[in-house]
């Protein structure tokens, strides 16, 4: 998914109040870790599953958990 597709997907899903609440909470947690929001958005855009997993393995454990939640939320 490229950046444009990611933005369009998030905008479409933000119409659901439950999604919007979970997404905003996760985003707020990412904002508490310097530089992580940009790194997560980069990882979300990786199309190759193997490459995405390798990038996620390099993240701190708390951020890995948040990233998995974010990916799951966006891809559901």
Buried b (16+ CB within 10 A) or exposed e, 23-57: beebeebbeeeeebbebbeebbeeeeeeebeebbe
Residues with Cβ within 8 Å of 50's Cβ and at least 6 positions away in sequence, in order, are: none
Enter the pTM of the model: 0.66
Contact of 28 with 55, CB cutoff 8 Å = no
Q: For the chain, what are the domain ranges?
A: 3-75
Average pLDDT over residues 55-75: 86
Helices and strands counted in the chain (H then E):
5, 0
Q: Residues 34-62: pLDDT tens digits?
A: 887 788 788 888 888 899 889 988 888 88
């Amino acid at each position: 998914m490229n950046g444009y597709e990611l933005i369009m997907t998030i905008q479409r899903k933000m119409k659901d109040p439950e999604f919007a609440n979970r997404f905003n909470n996760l985003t707020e947690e990412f904002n508490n870790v310097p530089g992580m929001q940009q790194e997560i958005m980069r990882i979300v855009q990786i199309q190759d599953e193997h490459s995405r997993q390798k990038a996620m393995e390099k993240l701190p454990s708390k951020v890995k958990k948040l990233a998995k939640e974010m990916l799951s939320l966006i891809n559901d």
